[in-house]
Structure 1
Amino acid sequence: MDADASIKIRRSAPVNFLKALVDDSLTVFWGDWLDLRVRIPQVAASGLVSPLIYILAFGLGLGSSLDRVTQPTVGETYLEFILPGMVALSSMVISFGGTTFSICGDRLFTKTFEEMLLYPVHPLALHLGKMMAGIVRGMMTAASVILVAVLFTGKLWSFINPLFLGLLVLNCAVFAGLGVIVGLNVKSLESVGLFNNFLIVPMSFLGGTFFDPATLPPVLKGIVYLLPLTYTTIGLRAAAYQPLSEFPWYSFPILLAVAIALAYVGAYQFSHQQD
């Protein structure tokens, strides 16, 4: 074999690996999609109740009082201020919860998870396929909340522009990836509830959903900015209401880095899973 042929083989190897990784990830995703597609209304509505309650209680109830005495830092009213956070919140809850319960169901009840571990695919493809299913779940529910936000504000482009949707997909990827890892490690559904109560619920209120993190004292600000939901909420608000020059571009690389780190952990977990 001559030198040129050898170089071509080495160059084509990463390309072939990426193509196989994408194909295998889509195959894993397709197995979940066959189940998801018959439950689209149920999935889309499953995460809508809590955001609607928050919108009515905080946006319309508390917000009407706050609007008389103060002006939100972003948006014209407090309701507008929290609506991007409601989209982020709903996508987080369903991406995480749907992915976790899907894997737990396969592992602990239907006992079909062992069959998936026998697939002749890279462990990263298993993680990415499950993560993509979580992204779809989160985007379905987020679409419902976006519809509610558009009905309340009349600002269609604010909630469907590329920056808004791009951040939303990354947010779903982060929490779906986290859901994969939790689903692979919990031993019972009660354990899922613990993760939800001690991780997701606190993040729902501390992730900048109902307040501007920039106004917090330095100590609290340091805690809040450790949460990935904070960067999603800040970015979605800016994408919805602020000019492009004020958009927090750091939100994209931070969320992408978290998603990549979780993918590494998830792939490692899949490669060592003993179920």
Structure 2
Amino acid sequence: MASQSSLQVGQSYRGALLRGIFADSLTVFWGDWLDLRVRLPQVVASGLVSPLIYILGFGLGLGSAMQIQPPIGNSYLEFILPGMVALSSMTIGFGGTTFSICGERLYSKTFEEILLLPVHPLSLFLGKMLAGVVRGLMTSGSVLLIAVLFTRNFAFLHPLFLLLLVLNCAVFSGLGVIVGLNVKSLEGVGLLNNFLIVPMSFLGATFFDPATLPIALKAIVYLLPLTYTSIGLRAIVFQSLSEFPWYSIPILLIIAVVLSAIGAYQFAHQQD
């Protein structure tokens, strides 16, 4: 009886802890949302520039001029549109989150107030990550609208498509939180962006089908989280569910969980 009672107490404690972490995460997120909502047009517009340039330059320009026949889809423009949605969510999810935390740490000096909050470190990470997810969804939602208007294909609004998009936002927002906690200057952010995000924009299966690559290059491409999002989104739009790469969901989920553990540890030991 004593062991059963101890087990029930332990379960009740864990349940209360998880509810507390969730509630505190929403509180941290709400603080960021109050600042974010007054800058919605800038946030949405900032993440639209690169995808629109790629759509015009590669989809309508290069694809039409060279008459590229993609593996799936009716045109090269249609082929790259799911990748452009993934690209926009990655860019603003990472960049917006990183610059937001850097601004609080290095310029406004308000980040210490966040560290003093009597909440679990995981709540701090999740709250910041949720704000990044919202940023990514707002920007990618605009690209999504463009994709639907171009193709008249409502598979872009499939629940599985939206699930993958949220997971992609979570991965790169989580990465943005960790980078924001560690960089020492905005120059460091630019350096990491040039060596991490920009190469991934072109190598993350956004403009090509990784199945056609040689083994050595394929191994590199499949190390990138964006690859799993791009091929998954493309499969949802142009293929049947039986051909969907189901492994992409657990891979992105595992990466998000690992980043959460790292971010919580970082918040617990952060000193600014």
- Please report the TM-score for the alignment, with normalisation by the length of structure 1: 0.96
Q: Which residue number in structure 2 is paired with residue 167 of structure 1?
A: 164
> Could you list the runs of 5+ residues in structure 2 that have no partner in the other structure?
none
1:71 deviation in Å?
2.6
Q: In structure 2, the residue corresponding to 1:73 is in which secondary structure?
A: coil
- 1:218 counterpart letter in structure 2: I
34-43 vs 1-10, which deviates more?
1-10
Q: Which residue number in structure 2 is paired with residue 16 of structure 1?
A: 16
Distance 1:101 1:7 in 2: 44
Correspondences of 1:186-265 after superposition (within 5 Å): 186-265=183-262
Distance 2:262 2:77 in 1: 38
Distance 2:6 2:122 in 1: 27
Q: Which residue number in structure 2 is paired with residue 93 of structure 1?
A: 91
Distance 1:184 1:7 in 2: 37
Q: Which residue number in structure 1 is paired with residue 63 of structure 2?
A: 63
Distance 1:165 1:28 in 2: 24
> Could you list the runs of 5+ residues in structure 1 that have no partner in the other structure?
none
1:7 deviation in Å?
3.3
Correspondences of 1:130-141 after superposition (within 5 Å): 130-141=128-139
Is the CA contact 1:66–1:78 (under 8 Å) kept in the aligned structure 2?
no
7-16 vs 75-84, which deviates more?
7-16
Superposed CA deviations along residues 206-242 of structure 1, whole A, max 9, x for unmatched, are 0011000000000000000000000000000011111
Q: Which residue number in structure 2 is paired with residue 107 of structure 1?
A: 105
1:3 deviation in Å?
5.5
Is the CA contact 1:123–1:267 (under 8 Å) kept in the aligned structure 2?
yes
214-223 vs 146-155, which deviates more?
146-155
Is the CA contact 1:174–1:255 (under 8 Å) kept in the aligned structure 2?
yes
Superposed CA deviations along residues 37-85 of structure 1, whole A, max 9, x for unmatched, are 1122221121101111110110011111343xx5311211100000000
Superposed CA deviations along residues 172-208 of structure 1, whole A, max 9, x for unmatched, are 0000000000000000001000000000000000001
- Please report the TM-score for the alignment, with normalisation by the length of structure 2: 0.97
- 1:219 counterpart letter in structure 2: A
Q: Which residue number in structure 2 is paired with residue 117 of structure 1?
A: 115
Aligned length: 272
Q: In structure 2, the residue corresponding to 1:197 is in which secondary structure?
A: helix
Distance 2:268 2:75 in 1: 49
Distance 2:172 2:95 in 1: 9
Is the CA contact 1:123–1:271 (under 8 Å) kept in the aligned structure 2?
yes
Distance 1:213 1:6 in 2: 52
Q: In structure 2, the residue corresponding to 1:175 is in which secondary structure?
A: helix
Distance 1:63 1:194 in 2: 31
Correspondences of 1:24-63 after superposition (within 5 Å): 24-63=24-63
Q: Where has structure 1 moved over 2 Å in runs of 4 or more? A: 1-8
Distance 1:268 1:189 in 2: 23
1:10 deviation in Å?
1.7
- 1:188 counterpart letter in structure 2: S
- 2:17 counterpart letter in structure 1: F
- 2:106 counterpart letter in structure 1: L
- 2:225 counterpart letter in structure 1: P
Q: In structure 1, the residue corresponding to 2:177 is in which secondary structure?
A: helix
Q: Which residue number in structure 1 is paired with residue 151 of structure 2?
A: 153
Distance 1:3 1:225, change over 3 A: closer
Q: What is the aligned-residue identity percentage? A: 73
